[in-house]
Structures are given as structure tokens and as C-alpha cells.
Structure 1
Amino acid sequence: MAEIIEKVYALLEPLLDGTDIFVVNIKVKPTNNLKVYLDADSGFSITKSSSVNRKLYAAIEAAGMFPDGDFSLEVSSPGVDEPLTQMRQYKKNIGRKVTVTDKEDKEVTGMLREVTDEHMVLEVKGKKASDPVKSTEIAFSNIKKTVVQIIF
């Protein structure tokens, strides 16, 4: 599986060169179902997804990775419930509400205000409306997962 992922990544890299699209994850199911999760600094639209899908599918076929043609390809953005995994995702989501789970399984929810290489800063509201808003710095080394919260 790792070999297939490396080959897909190698075929994908030139397709993304010069764009703001980046790879979040690549998964391979035992049935040769390839799942490629991408994101973009400006948002990953259906148009971008289908364009990459067509080009990558053609590149996989041209490379002869699956001589019998027995593979399927899905290109999409990670689901809204998927944790952030890359620094670019953190930076892209500045100004959005996130829930951070630390390595001791403690959760804190707040507005993502700042991202550096070592930590992030959340603006956290108090329990009561009269409580002051405080800035909380969280080291990336202490984060188990961070999930963007969808506000309706």
C-alpha cells in the first residue's frame, strides 16, 4: 500500500505545481480504491476536485499502475469532521471556530487567531457572557487533534 501511495503522490505533485492545492492525505483500500484528500488555500471547489480527478486518473492509467484497469479514484476535500493535519490547514482556518483536544483529552473551543510553527492562539469566551475573552496559547506538541466547528 505504501508503494502505491508514493506512486500516486509522485503523479499528483506535478499536477498541483503552481496551484494553491495541497495534499492532505492519500488512502488505498484493498480493492484498489484510491482516496485522495486535497485542500487549497483559496478553498477546494468541486471544479478543482473534478479537474484533478480527471488528470490524475489519466496519469495513473498512463503509468500502468493497474494494468487490468481494476482501480477506482476518489478526489475530495477532507470531511468537515476530519481533524486538521497540516500547518497550511491551520493557517487557512484562522478566524474560524475550532475545538482542540490535547494529549490528556481535555477540550477547548475558541476562535483560531494566530498560528506559528510551534503553537496556535485561541480566543476563548468565558462561561458567562460577562466573563472576559481570553487568549490561550496551545503548543502543537500538546495537541491530539483540532477540528473546525461548523457554525450555522
Structure 2
Amino acid sequence: MAFGGTVAASVETIRKAIEPVVQAAGADLEELQIQQAGRREIVRVVVDRDGGIDLNLVSDISREISVILDNEPFNSEFAGTFVLEVTSPGVDRPLTQLKHWRRSHDRLIDVELTDGSQFTGRITSTTDDVIVFTVTQGKTQEERTVAFADIKRGKVQVEFNRVTTEDEGDVADGH
């Protein structure tokens, strides 16, 4: 691919073309990659939004991006030899931006602070510069407030058997 001669320039050209479509759908363009796979190129687009993203929205965004990439100037560069993948970030994405933390509300997070200390807590609230966690130690719970600037990294823990208050209502209703 040769928009401006480099893959980086190509990514930026495509980003400028598709970002308005993603934003019009109420989502954010989290990541855009172009990878060579044999004779084809894989265009990987990662989208997300507050409240999560569902399959219908991913499908709608994918169709709109496909129309863009199937037309000039992109169709002559790809010549029909690209695979478009539009997806959500997944739970294994590291939490690097404040919006990632906000979108992980009520999830259990492994947190590493800039001072090297670590803890696991459930996000209960976020503001522009602070994240509040509920940290469970044995049978006790405590609230822990951490400045976003003090967080080095975070990763969502996958929980398979967590019962939420919504789930408890379903059980009581017989569902």
C-alpha cells in the first residue's frame, strides 16, 4: 500500500477517512492497523464507546467503512485484496486512557501504580482525574481513591461467576 509511501501514512489517510463514520455512530476509533498477510492486507479497526459496543453497531460501522475502502482513492491501492476486520477492544486490552477506565465501571481491575505497588479493585466511579475502587480484603471492603496520574497500568480481570444485582432480579423472577 502506498498512500504517501509508508504504511504509517496509509494508516493516517484511512484514519482521516473513516473516523467521521465511527464518530457518527457514537463510537471512538481506538486503533487502526494495516498488516500484510500474503498477497492481502488486513485492515483492523478497533472501535468502542461508553456503555460498550454491540454486534449490530460493529456491523453497521463495518459496512460503512467497507464502502469507503471500496472507492477511490482506496480501491486502486487495495485492488480488492484486503480483509476488513472491525472489532471491539476486548477485555485483554490494557487500560491506558481515562475513557478506558470509565468504560470499565463496575469491573474488577488489576492496578499497578507508578510507585510500584499493586492492588485489585472494582471501579465504582471515575472523574476527570480520579478513579474510585472498592478493594476487598478477605471479608472487609474499603474504598480506595487513586489519582489517574498515579496509575501506571490496569487490566480487566475476567469474571465468570459474578452475580450482579440485575442477575439476582432475574433469578427471583424465575428467568
Q: TM-score range by the shorter chain?
A: 0.7 to 0.9
The answer to whether the Cα contact below 8 Å between 1:24 and 1:85 also exists between their aligned partners in 2 is no
Which residue among 134, 143, 148 is the counterpart of 2:142?
Answer: 134
The answer to whether the Cα contact below 8 Å between 2:92 and 2:156 also exists between their aligned partners in 1 is: yes
Instruction: Letter of the 2:151 partner, please give it.
Output: I
2:18 paired residue number: 12
Instruction: Name the counterpart of 2:171.
Output: none
What corresponds to 1:60 in structure 2? Answer: 69
2:131 alignment partner in structure 1: 120
- TM-score by structure 2 length? 0.74
Higher RCO (C-alpha 8 Å, min separation 6): 1
How much has 1:111 moved relative to structure 2?
A: 1.1
Residues 2-151 of structure 1 aligned to structure 2 (within 5 Å):
2-31=8-37, 32-65=41-74, 66-126=77-137, 128-129=138-139, 131=140, 133-151=141-159
TM-score, scaled relative to structure 1: 0.84
- Give the RMSD, CA atoms, in angstroms: 2.0
Number of positions where the alignment pairs a residue of Structure 1 with one of Structure 2 = 149
Q: Deviations over 1:65-124 (max 9, x none)?
A: 225233221100012211123333322222221111223553311110121222211111
Q: Is the contact between residue 118 and residue 140 of structure 1 (CA under 8 Å) also seen in structure 2?
A: yes
Letter in 1 for 2:17: L
Q: Following TM superposition, by how much is the alpha carbon of 1:143 offset from its aligned partner in structure 2, in angstroms? A: 2.2
Contact 2:135 2:143 in 1 (8 A): yes
Cα distance change, pair 42–119 in 1 and its aligned pair in 2 (3 A)? closer
Q: For 2:52, what is the secondary structure of its paired residue?
A: coil
Gaps (5+ residues) in structure 2? Answer: 1-6, 161-175
Question: Cα 1:79–1:17, aligned 2, differ >3 Å: closer, same or farther?
Answer: closer
Gaps of 5+ in 1: none
Deviation at 1:61, TM superposition (A): 2.1
Q: Provide the C-alpha distance between the structure 2 equivalents of 1:119 and 1:70, rounded to a whole number of angstroms.
A: 46
